[in-house]
Structure 1
Amino acid sequence: MEFYEITPTLENYWRGIILFGKNSASYKFALGKSLIDLAGSQNDLIKIEDLAVPYSKYLCGHIEIADKQGNSDGEFLRTCRKYNLNEVSHEELISKAIRLGFGDVLKAFHNVPSGEVPVKFFIEEGRGVKKGIRITDNFLNLFADVDRHDLYEETESRWRLVETAWELNVSRNLIAVSASRDGDELYANNRGRRINITSSRPALNGYQKGSCFYCYGTIEITAGSKELADVDHFLPHTLMVNNIVGNLDGVWNLVLACQCCNSKKSSKLPAIKFLERIHRRNEYLITSHHPLRETLIRQTGNNEQARVAYLQDSYNKAKEVLIHTWEPDPKGPETF
């Protein structure tokens, strides 16, 4: 709840739904992406048959990437596989989606571990063939003010992380997510095989609420954007030479920074006040669910006290080498 209570904006309520929900299947992600697609619609009532088209498209597309899309299977997902194999028509796919594809996802969409978020982006209407959803003013206001592309990329990235755990079909406690040396990509290792998952930017951006880690200025994550965020090592990568701090390429040490802050920080050590901020950001990731949760716990400690000690010890070791610290002037209010 702290995630959206600190800054209770519509954007952060949406992120809370996507990032912190307990997912036994991927339907929430498909619904989220479908809603974003329909954000420009002039009609506030969306019929279930219209919603079924993008919803089915996204599920079929992801099944081609990772066949397993949940802890259990169902007739609709089996139909999606048949569609991918050209064994059923598009009309049959949509018909099955209307009858069986939505299940409880419409009712459960707004759920987070503490209950429902206090705003709703749509309400269900009708039954059977007349079933649909009516989008609310919250939904209209959200997508009037926010670049939908970043929320779209964050939803896609979250989906890729979750489905990777299902697809590898091993205990989530054994899955380790690693970052490439430049920090741009996240990947998992499975029996010696490296599996690329997603870009670091959309995977981390939601937990930073679209803000630079250091100055709280606005950042973007879509390729080609003028304000494209840089992936920065909180404790500088130069410490690798001294082998002072281990696992600097770990997710725990990656943050998104605006280009200005990343350039000025360079190889400097962030001021001590940022240590609490990166701890809070990492706890958001841990409050989220596999596989980033297990990765961070493995990297930094089994409980919050141990994780605080790990960060403080790493910072102290870095301070002995780098000595001088850096911090920018804030460009926006504190958001996390």
Structure 2
Amino acid sequence: MRFYQADPRLENYWRGVILFGKNVASYKFALAHALYDLKQPGNDLITLETLAAPFARHLCAHLRNAPKQITSKSSQFLEACRQFNEGEISEAQLIAITVKRGFANVIDAFHNVNHAEIDKRFFLDERKNNKGIRLTDNFYQLTENAQFANLVQETEARWRLVEEAWAMNVSRNLIAVEYDESDQMLFSRQNNRRITITSCRSSLNGYQKGHCFYCFRPVSVTGGEENLADVDHFLPWMLNEQISNLNGVWNLVLACQTCNRGAQGKFARIPSTTLLQRLHERNEYFINSHLPLRDTLIRQTGNTPELRHSFLQQSWNTAKYALLHEWQPEAQGDSIF
């Protein structure tokens, strides 16, 4: 709830759906992408036949690289997607099956987060009377938002993370998500083999609501943008011999270029204890999210909020002893996380 209450804008309600909604299948991500594709003004009623084409297309594309898209053992709809990928059925047949079986649960469940419906609806269910859904003004306002391009990338990154969790069966084998600074990507290891998962920027951005971790200046995750975010180590990487796993997700934040590289930037100084508390709260967003960053954070920092807070404080104390100087920039926006 605090995720919305701290900054109750439309994009953060949408992020709540993508980041905190329960995942038993990847259909939520496919539906979000389909809505991104069908955002044309003046076409607020979308029939299931119209929705089926982009919805199935995104699932088929992901199935080619990630065969596990659901936690149950089988799905007649996903089997049809696989048959389409193998050339066994036509696109028309796939769309007909999608209309019949693809939307059975996802439309009902889309707006539910933590066992309750969020306060803002982005579409209305009109399957009974109009055989489709109707986009609301909330959705159209969302598409006009400066954060919209970020939301598309965040959805894709979240989908990739969930796929990897299912592929590695995190219930028995917790994922250790790691960061590669050279290509700005998150990766995991399976059977001593490195598996690149997704963009680090896009994975972190939703939890920071599209703003710099330190000063709340708006940032972008789109390459070529002037305000492209930097991935920063909260506790500086130079301390990697004194503090373990500084490349862990718990220590990675998105920073604007001013805070990370500007004349008054952080560099080798230690973020203040106020910023340390902000890091703890940001990490708790990870914990309250479903797989797999939740499992990664628990594995890296502790099983309870108290243990995780203690881990951060001890790491901060070590950094402070080594580097001495604290740092906190002037806020460029309201506190939103």
Measured against the shorter chain, the TM-score band is over 0.9
Q: Distance in 2 between matches of 1:167 and 1:15?
A: 24
Cα deviation, 1:120-164, whole Å, max 9, x if unaligned, reads: 000011339x41011111111222223422101000111101111
| SS of equivalent to 2:186 | strand
SS of 1:51 mapped into structure 2: helix
| Cα distance in 2 between the residues matched to 1:169 and 1:319 | 38
Q: Distance in 1 between matches of 2:183 and 2:117?
A: 34
1: CA distance, partners of 2:319 / 2:93: 60
In 2, Cα distance between the equivalents of 1:146 and 1:173?
A: 39
What is the distance in 2 between the residues matched to 1:51 and 1:221?
27
Find the aligned partners of 1:269 and 1:169 in 2 and give their Cα distance.
37
Q: 1:257 aligns with which of 243, 255, 258?
A: 255
Q: Counterpart of 1:47 in structure 2: which amino acid?
A: T
Can you list the C-alpha shifts for 1:83-111, whole angstroms capped at 9, x where unaligned? Answer: 11111111111111111111111010000
Which secondary structure state, in structure 2, belongs to the residue aligned with residue 145 of structure 1?
coil
Cα distance, 1:79 vs. partner?
0.6
User: What is residue 269 of structure 1 aligned with on the other side?
Assistant: 270
User: CA separation in 1, counterparts of 2:104 and 2:221?
Assistant: 33
For the residues of structure 1 that align with 2:200 and 2:217, how far apart are their CA atoms? 19
Find the aligned partners of 1:324 and 1:286 in 2 and give their Cα distance.
30
What is the total number of aligned residue pairs between the two structures?
A: 333
Superposition map of 1:1-336 within 5 A: 1-72=1-72, 73-127=74-128, 130-169=130-169, 171=171, 173-182=173-182, 184-240=184-240, 243-263=241-261, 264-336=265-337
Deviation at 1:332, TM superposition (A): 0.6
Aligned-CA RMSD value: 1.3
Q: Given that residues 150 and 222 in structure 1 are in contact (C-alpha distance below 8 angstroms), is that contact kept between their aligned partners in structure 2?
A: yes
* CA shift for structure 1 position 114: 4.3
Distance 2:139 2:162 in 1: 25
CA pair 10-323 structure 1, distance change in 2 beyond 3 A? same
Contact persistence 1:172–1:294 (CA under 8 A): no
Which residue identity is paired with 2:44? D
CA drift at 1:42: 2.2
Query: What is the CA distance between 1:168 and its match in structure 2?
Result: 2.4
Unaligned runs of 5+ in 1: none
Distance change >3 Å, CA 335–CA 74, structure 1 → 2: same
CA–CA separation in structure 2 for the residues paired with 1:205 and 1:225: 15
* Conserved? CA contact 1:172–1:291, under 8 Å: no
Cα separation, 2, equivalents of 1:212 and 1:266: 15
Partners of 1:230 and 1:38 lie apart in 2 by 31
Query: Which segment drifts farther, 137-146 or 209-218?
Result: 137-146
Alpha-carbon shift at residue 321 of structure 1 (Å): 0.9
Q: Distance in 2 between matches of 1:169 and 1:19?
A: 19
Give the secondary structure class of the aligned counterpart of 1:176: coil
Change (3 A) 1:172 1:121: farther
Amino acid of the structure 1 residue aligned with 2:252: L
SS in 1 for 2:228: coil
Shift of 1:214: 0.3
- 1:30-86 deviations in Å (ceiling 9; x for gaps): 001111122234211111111111101100000011001011221110010111111
Deviation at 1:225, TM superposition (A): 1.4
TM-superposed deviation, 1:10: 0.6
Distance (Å, rounded) in 2 between the aligned partners of 1:205 and 1:310: 23
User: TM-score, normalising length from structure 2?
Assistant: 0.96
Letter in 1 for 2:227: E
CA distance in 1, matches of 2:86, 2:127: 33
Q: Give the CA deviation at 1:311.
A: 0.3
Q: What SS is found at the alignment partner of 1:39?
A: coil
Q: Normalization by structure 1: what TM-score?
A: 0.96
Identity of aligned residues (%): 52
| Higher mean C-alpha deviation, range 206-215 or range 171-180 | 171-180
